[in-house]
């Protein structure tokens, strides 16, 4: 697996490819198109990007189309005056339904050959939040998390308790066969074989982790974030990462920012990464671009690879990451979806 010694920081849609910078110092660009849009939406499909050698033109087009579909779904709500919470939820639903991404239908398997799902939704207006973790069965875990936010006194429900809640509130459930994808099953078999034989862990990012997420600012200035994941290939049953841990992998707070993260969950939890960005803005007066890039650099120093998307109170978006690539996209009031995978500039998705 390649070693990445710098953070790639994307502000809006205008950042072009950069050469590697010195460790911990991000490439940053400001005044991106749409940075002060009446509304904005950004999504990620995980820091688990396939290595360039495995991503042919047809597959790249499929990933970009999947990102564009999610952006368009959220945009339709925002342009009609819908809420940021509705937009991020709908964008994540679209990503969960796409087997290319590690969430919902395309989730990875645990070491026991089961799919256990985590998801979270947070409203920046009042910091209301809902999450589910280690739950088996919901077609769209983000809808289960949204139901926890709206219909439960709890913030986080796990396992059988989360599943009972889904049944009680009409959340659509699926048979395990729905979540079976050949690529995820083969990845599990490769990893189990490696562990049995004591082989070196040389998996690329795509086999290590992956997540989907969305952040938005709506026309009323409210922020929201949603994140969903199947976790890590061959994870221990019951293992929960940063996605449903508010302040680690998901955060939304009007006046500062909304954040959705992807990467080495345990490190994001230990550093309280998402909340740390908001705190640096609120207490330290830092702009979003600086706070987000610095936190992602610190994650790398602590042994965590990955990235995040974030939007501030003005609608400016940043997308820093410290790994090989991160599926990501953005859309604003112009209604044009833009996407990228590695360290290239966000570009318009053809045919979207």
Mind listing the domains of the chain with CATH numbers? Answer: 40-340 (3.60.20.30)
Mean pLDDT of all residues in 133-147: 98
pLDDT of residue 7: 65
Digit-coded pLDDT (tens) for 274-299: 999 999 999 999 999 999 999 999 99
Q: Among residues 28, 89, 110, 211, which one is catalytic?
A: 211
Mean pLDDT (whole number) for 18-25: 31
Q: What is the mean pLDDT of the chain?
A: 90
- Predicted confidence at residue 145, as pLDDT, reads 98
Mean pLDDT within 142-169 = 98
- 17-31, 124-138, 264-278, 329-343, range with the lowest pLDDT: 17-31
Q: How far apart are the C-alpha atoms of 16 and 31, rounded to whole Å?
A: 14
DSSP secondary structure letter of residue 233: T
**Distance separating alpha carbons of residues 195 and 262, to the nearest angstrom:** 24
Q: How far apart are CA 14 and CA 241, in angstroms?
A: 31
How far CA 321 is from CA of 8, 50, 215, 342, 350, in Å, comes to: 5, 15, 16, 10, 25
Cα 182 to Cα 188: distance, rounded to the nearest angstrom: 10
Q: Is the pLDDT of residue 26 over 50?
A: no
In the predicted structure, residue 225 carries a pLDDT above the cut 50? yes
Looking at residues 5-16, what average pLDDT do you find? Answer: 46
Confidence of residue 9 (pLDDT cuts 50, 70, 90): low
Taking only the tens place, the pLDDT of each residue in 307-326 is 999 999 999 999 999 999 99
Q: What is the pLDDT of residues 61-90, one digit of tens each?
A: 999 999 999 999 999 999 999 999 999 999
Residue 22 pLDDT level (bands cut at 50, 70, 90): very low
The pLDDT tens digits for 171-221 are 999 999 999 999 999 999 999 999 999 888 877 777 666 899 999 999 999
Look up residue 247 and give its DSSP letter.
T
Distance between CA atoms of 191 and 264, rounded to whole angstroms?
17
pLDDT top residue among 9 and 38: 38
pLDDT for 125: 98
Residue whose tokens read 């998705």? 349
Annotated active-site residue 347? The verdict is no
Q: Determine whether 146 is exposed, middle or buried from the number of CB atoms within 10 Å of its CB (0-12, 13-18, 19+).
A: buried
Decide if pLDDT at 13 tops 50. Answer: no
Placement of tokens 């819908």 in the chain: 82
Instruction: Confirm whether pTM is higher than 0.85.
Output: yes
Q: In the predicted model, is pLDDT for residue 21 greater than 60?
A: no
Give the pLDDT band of residue 36 (cuts 50, 70, 90). low
198 contact partners, CB below 8 Å, separation of at least 6: none
Give CA–CA dist 103/92, Å, rounded: 9
Which pLDDT value is given to residue 316? 97
Question: So what's the pLDDT on residue 210?
Answer: 86
Q: 20: pLDDT confidence band, cut at 50, 70 and 90? A: very low
pLDDT (tens digit per residue) in 108-117: 999 999 999 9
Count Cα atoms within 13 angstroms, Cβ side, for 18.
Answer: 17
**306, β-bridge pairs:** 263
pLDDT in tens, 229-282: 999 999 999 999 999 999 999 999 999 999 999 999 999 999 999 999 999 999
């Amino acid at each position: 697996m390649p070693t990445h010694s710098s953070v790639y920081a994307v502000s809006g849609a205008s950042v072009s490819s950069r050469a590697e910078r010195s460790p911990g110092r991000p490439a940053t660009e400001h005044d991106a198109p749409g940075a002060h849009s009446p509304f904005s939406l950004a999504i990620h499909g995980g820091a688990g990007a396939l290595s360039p050698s495995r991503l042919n033109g047809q597959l790249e087009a499929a990933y970009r189309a999947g990102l564009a579909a999610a952006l368009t779904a959220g945009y339709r709500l925002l342009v009609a005056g819908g809420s940021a919470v509705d937009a991020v939820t709908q964008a994540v639903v679209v990503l969960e339904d796409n087997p290319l991404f590690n969430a919902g239908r395309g989730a990875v398997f645990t070491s026991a050959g089961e799919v256990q799902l985590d998801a979270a939704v947070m409203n920046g207006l009042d910091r209301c939040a809902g999450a589910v973790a280690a739950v088996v069965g919901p077609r769209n875990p983000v809808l289960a998390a949204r139901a926890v936010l709206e219909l439960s006194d709890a913030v986080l429900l796990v396992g059988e308790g989360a599943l009972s809640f889904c049944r009680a509130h009409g959340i659509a459930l699926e048979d395990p066969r729905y979540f079976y994808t050949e690529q995820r099953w083969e990845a599990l078999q490769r990893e189990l074989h490696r562990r049995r034989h004591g082989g070196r862990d040389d998996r690329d990012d795509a086999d290590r982790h992956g997540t989907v997420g969305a952040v938005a600012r709506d026309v009323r200035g409210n922020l929201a974030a949603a994140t969903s994941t199947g976790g890590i290939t061959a994870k221990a049953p019951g293992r929960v990462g940063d996605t449903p841990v508010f302040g680690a992998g998901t955060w939304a707070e009007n006046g500062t920012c909304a954040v959705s993260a992807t990467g080495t969950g345990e490190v994001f939890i230990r550093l309280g990464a998402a909340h740390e960005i908001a705190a640096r803005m609120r207490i330290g007066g830092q702009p979003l671009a600086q706070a987000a890039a610095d936190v992602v650099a610190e994650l790398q120093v602590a042994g965590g690879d990955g990235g995040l998307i974030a939007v501030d109170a003005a609608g400016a978006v940043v997308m820093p990451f410290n790994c090989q690539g991160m599926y990501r996209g953005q859309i604003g009031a112009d209604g044009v979806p833009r996407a990228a995978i590695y360290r290239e500039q966000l570009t318009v998705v053809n045919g979207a």
